[in-house]
Structure 1
Amino acid sequence: MNTPAGLAATPLGKAAGIVRDYVLRMYYVVDEVPRRQRLRLTPLLLGVEYLVYRVDSLAERNAAVDLDAVRGSDYEAFHTYKKAFEKVLRLLRAWNDDVAFLVDEAERFIRLENGTTSRGTVARDDILAMVELRPTDVRLLRAMTFALRGRAMDPATRDLLWPVEVLADIANDLRHYEQDVAAGTLNVYAAFVKLFGDAAASELRREVDRYEAMFLERLSALPPERRARVADVCRRRYAEAVGPYPRTAGHRPAPAPAPASPSGTALRKGVAVGGALTVGVLAAVAYRRGRTPPVSQTSIPLPPHIERGRTS
């Protein structure tokens, strides 16, 4: 675990990789965030992404259990995480309508993934719905940077990045295809192989071409002086999606998770939620140090309910 590879596989290591690849190398560049602000924002975003990976561990642990049908302690843990998450973001003043919407989208993805994997059958539409929702965590990080800076998010840039985030997620699955197959974890290419066999690569390539065409069309609306720079940083994120695909591997079934005692599950939940709150509070303290006292929690109005469809 103390090796670089071992540390990278931990929730904190994974979170650091996401912040590096998406926030530092893409979002800050596309959104032209000043360097001084980057130093202030990055530790907070790392803490939030760490919480996301803690929640994701619940979904992985319950891949074979439909949490909506079997309402055990992990079902309740999702709600506990969400409430704690919102409290931390409000304390940091990193909460706005866009953030609220994406927190709901993250829960929708977790439930979609859990419901699909627990059934054991995945249709093409299910796969595409999940791959389009799965980047919600990185979209949340970007929305937070705007909330923390007190700025409104530009809808055109948000829509421009939407297919890039989907393509980057597909690229990540292609990069980790054999590893995911061996571990029995959800992988879009592996799912296409199960559905289409030898035609999997061409079927997935068709979807990749569709998403990339969407990106290029929206990219053309940018001013020429920004277009090349944005195209460069975005294409780096999804390079594997448009390159050669890996050879298909034998799909071994995932090992059945060992049953956990109720007390063990409750203990894990308590530790996870406690850790989440600790990270959030420490981040809040660091962020607020030297600034004016925070506004009382009760004085912050709840955001209005937002109705949005999936970005086309």
Structure 2
Amino acid sequence: MKISKAIDTGLFDPKILGQEIASKKPCISYHSMRRSSRVLREFLLYYFPLYNLSYNDFFGFYPILGFVEALVYETDEEVEEIQSNCCPQIKNSPWTSKQKIILSVLQEINIKHEKIDFYLKDLGEYFDLETYLLSGYSFDESAIIKAAELRSSDYRLLHSILAQMLNLNCRKEDMVENLNLMFPLEVLNDIEDDLISYADDVGVKHYNTYRMFVKLYGEKAPFYLKKKLDYYESLFHKQIAVLSSLKKKPFIQAWNAYRLDHSVPTIPDPIFED
């Protein structure tokens, strides 16, 4: 559905949306907006075509999508500050207050769905798990993979909000299918991005999926991480292979856009920390 059609049918009014958000107190920083711009750019490239939306439609949806993603990164900044103080767990998660703000704004503009609530909770679970994994306690590969899958929940959160804004949740099966189909690409994207930032993240001791693999597997980390990358790539293609040609097309376009934007990264040599 084109955004113009959504407006004409009364499903979505970006002018009212802007007014409602403007009524709230400032709660995001420039730094969070800058960091979140990468996710918004990729969301535009990979997800908008799934719903026949174009670049011209983006700014109609930007206020709420940008607001939500900036709050995710605002939380990330605050959690990293807590982690720098070597806290093994977060007693009062910054995400709790951010989640309330998001739900309040979504309620004002009449956007509500169980999937939105689900992915908001997933992000909270991720921030807690990430802090635990950095605390020095023992962990296994399943915990790292769970963190990687939870960390990409912001894409599914944005996806759910977009679908609700387009009034697509009446077709619940289609929405769930689209969320599931994009899931492997989201996790793959997250892990590959960590390969690029690996050395920098080690230097500042930030969370990084590959860094956790190195802590767990040592010099064999590249082998085990490659297996997971191959798994998620294979899962994505396996899922879309059973679709009809018409249904499959936008997902193939999303994959091609991703690979055009992200060449397959080299897995760096492990850095062994003290």
Q: Give the shorter-chain TM-score range.
A: 0.7 to 0.9
Verify the 8 A CA contact 1:122 1:191 in the aligned structure 2: no
Cα offsets for 1:116-148 (capped at 9, x unmatched): 222444321110110011011121111111112
What is the aligned partner in structure 2 of residue 141 from structure 1?
Answer: 158
Q: Within 5 A, what are the aligned runs for 1:72-151?
A: 75=92, 77-151=94-168
Cα offsets for 1:197-238 (capped at 9, x unmatched): 221111111111111221111111232245355224225536
The one of 182, 188, 198 aligned to 1:177: 198
Q: Give the distance between the partners of 1:12 and 1:35, measured in 2 at CA.
A: 19
**C-alpha displacement of 1:76:** 5.8
For 1:95, give the aligned amino acid: K
Establish whether residue 62 from structure 1 lines up as the match of residue 82 from structure 2.
Answer: yes
Q: Within 5 A, what are the aligned runs for 1:29-44?
A: 29-33=49-53, 37-44=57-64
What is the aligned partner in structure 2 of residue 168 from structure 1?
Answer: 189
Match of 1:14, SS?
helix
Q: Give the distance between the partners of 2:93 and 2:62, measured in 1 at CA.
A: 30
Match of 2:112, SS?
coil
What is the aligned partner in structure 2 of residue 204 from structure 1?
Answer: 225
What is the aligned partner in structure 2 of residue 251 from structure 1?
Answer: 273
Verify the 8 A CA contact 1:182 1:251 in the aligned structure 2: no
Q: Give the distance between the partners of 1:66 and 1:251, measured in 2 at CA.
A: 19
Q: Give the distance between the partners of 2:181 and 2:78, measured in 1 at CA.
A: 31
Verify the 8 A CA contact 2:222 2:270 in the aligned structure 1: no
What is the aligned partner in structure 2 of residue 190 from structure 1?
Answer: 211
Establish whether residue 49 from structure 1 lines up as the match of residue 66 from structure 2.
Answer: no
For 2:41, give the aligned amino acid: R
Q: Give the distance between the partners of 2:80 and 2:262, measured in 1 at CA.
A: 25
What is the aligned partner in structure 2 of residue 294 from structure 1?
Answer: none
Establish whether residue 158 from structure 1 lines up as the match of residue 179 from structure 2.
Answer: yes
For 1:145, give the aligned amino acid: L
Answer 1 or 2: higher relative contact order, Cα 8 Å, separation at least 6: 1
Verify the 8 A CA contact 1:208 1:242 in the aligned structure 2: no
**C-alpha displacement of 1:190:** 1.5
Q: Give the distance between the partners of 1:240 and 1:251, measured in 2 at CA.
A: 28
For 2:227, give the aligned amino acid: R
**C-alpha displacement of 1:244:** 2.7
Q: Give the distance between the partners of 2:99 and 2:244, measured in 1 at CA.
A: 39
What is the aligned partner in structure 2 of residue 11 from structure 1?
Answer: 32
Q: Give the distance between the partners of 2:262 and 2:38, measured in 1 at CA.
A: 17
Bigger shift: 98-107 or 9-18? 9-18
Query: How many residue pairs end up in the alignment?
Result: 238
Verify the 8 A CA contact 2:89 2:132 in the aligned structure 1: yes
Identity fraction in percent:
23
TM-score scaled by length of structure 1:
0.69
Q: Give the distance between the partners of 1:16 and 1:235, measured in 2 at CA.
A: 21
**C-alpha displacement of 1:249:** 2.9
Match of 1:186, SS?
coil
Residues 236, 50 of structure 1: alpha-carbon distance in 2 compared, 3 angstrom cutoff: same
Q: Give the distance between the partners of 1:240 and 1:39, measured in 2 at CA.
A: 24
Q: Give the distance between the partners of 2:93 and 2:209, measured in 1 at CA.
A: 28
Residues 155, 76 of structure 1: alpha-carbon distance in 2 compared, 3 angstrom cutoff: closer
**C-alpha displacement of 1:31:** 3.0
Match of 2:134, SS?
helix
Q: Give the distance between the partners of 1:52 and 1:134, measured in 2 at CA.
A: 10
Residues 66, 251 of structure 1: alpha-carbon distance in 2 compared, 3 angstrom cutoff: closer
For 1:158, give the aligned amino acid: L
**C-alpha displacement of 1:159:** 0.9
Match of 2:47, SS?
helix
Q: Give the distance between the partners of 1:195 and 1:82, measured in 2 at CA.
A: 32
Bigger shift: 239-248 or 83-92? 239-248
